[in-house]
Amino acid sequence: MNAQTQRMTVDGPAGPLELAVDHPTDGRAEGLALIAHPHPLFGGTLDNKVVQTLARGMLARRMICIRPNFRGVGFSQGQHDDGRGEQDDLWAAWRWAEQTYGSAVGEARWMAGFSFGAVMVTHVYRDWPAKRQAAGLCAKPCQVNLLVGLAAERFAPSPIDETARLIHGELDDVVSLSSVLRFAQEHNQPVAVMPGAGHFFHGSLPALRRMIDHALADL
């Protein structure tokens, strides 16, 4: 993402798990943010431009940002597991982040995801209290789940609440806007719609960054 990005592998449930980590450059971090990439079988990686844009937005809010590669992508070992093992990958990344930085950063704990990754974030949030306690991690709440291009009609997301911030392209030809609006309506949550944007926000990343900044402005 930039010259200061650290890349490493840590212990994961299917073998080594690749991470990219970015730190605020101006003092103590306010917390930790985990960002999940789109579908591994369709070219999704931690270097996806939307994922990087999410990380930049959260980094600007003084968060340490962790972007894992799901199993089978890059230097992460294992094979795609239809969204089951991928949730375990995210938990492994959280475990490493808390053990490495948890006592040295602020209280904020955020998640973000794009497309398939956004669906995985909803599942991790669903299991947040039980899984964090079972893993021996501190029970800090997750204050925000920033969901971009949520793949609601391709995979079944878990329920969302007021922590969710949904952003979707008006002209998304991979995940229809109508499917996301229906899902959001079921959970009484708003959706921020970017006019003219497709699923991958080609030519719209600066506008997406502004929408991300707006979504995080009240935190």
Ranges of each domain in the chain: 6-216
6-216 CATH fold: Rossmann fold (3.40.50)
- Lookup: tokens for 154: 């391709």
pLDDT digits (tens, 9 = 90+) for 146-173: 999 999 999 999 999 999 999 999 999 9
**Angstrom distance (rounded) from CA 135 to CA 56:** 28
The pLDDT of residue 76 is 99
Neighbours of 34 (CB within 10 A): 27
In one letter, which amino acid is 11?
D
Q: Are 121 and 36 in contact (CB under 8 A)?
A: yes
**Angstrom distance (rounded) from CA 121 to CA 131:** 13
The pLDDT of residue 5 is 97
The pLDDT of residue 135 is 65
Using 50, 70 and 90 to split pLDDT, how confident is the model at 218? confident
Using 50, 70 and 90 to split pLDDT, how confident is the model at 216? very high
Sorted by sequence, the CB contacts under 8 Å of residue 114 that are 6+ apart come out as 36, 37, 38, 44, 48, 50, 51, 54, 148, 149
The pLDDT of residue 219 is 80
User: Exposure of 4 by Cβ count < 10 A (0-12 exposed, 13-18 middle, 19+ buried)?
Assistant: exposed
pLDDT at 85 over 90: yes
Once rounded to an integer, what is the mean pLDDT over residues 10-35?
Answer: 95
With a pLDDT cut of 90, the percent of the chain lying above it is 89
Using 50, 70 and 90 to split pLDDT, how confident is the model at 132? confident
Once rounded to an integer, what is the mean pLDDT over residues 142-147?
Answer: 97
Using 50, 70 and 90 to split pLDDT, how confident is the model at 136? low
Q: Are 95 and 132 in contact (CB under 8 A)?
A: no
Average pLDDT, the chain: 96
DSSP 40: G
Once rounded to an integer, what is the mean pLDDT over residues 66-72?
Answer: 99
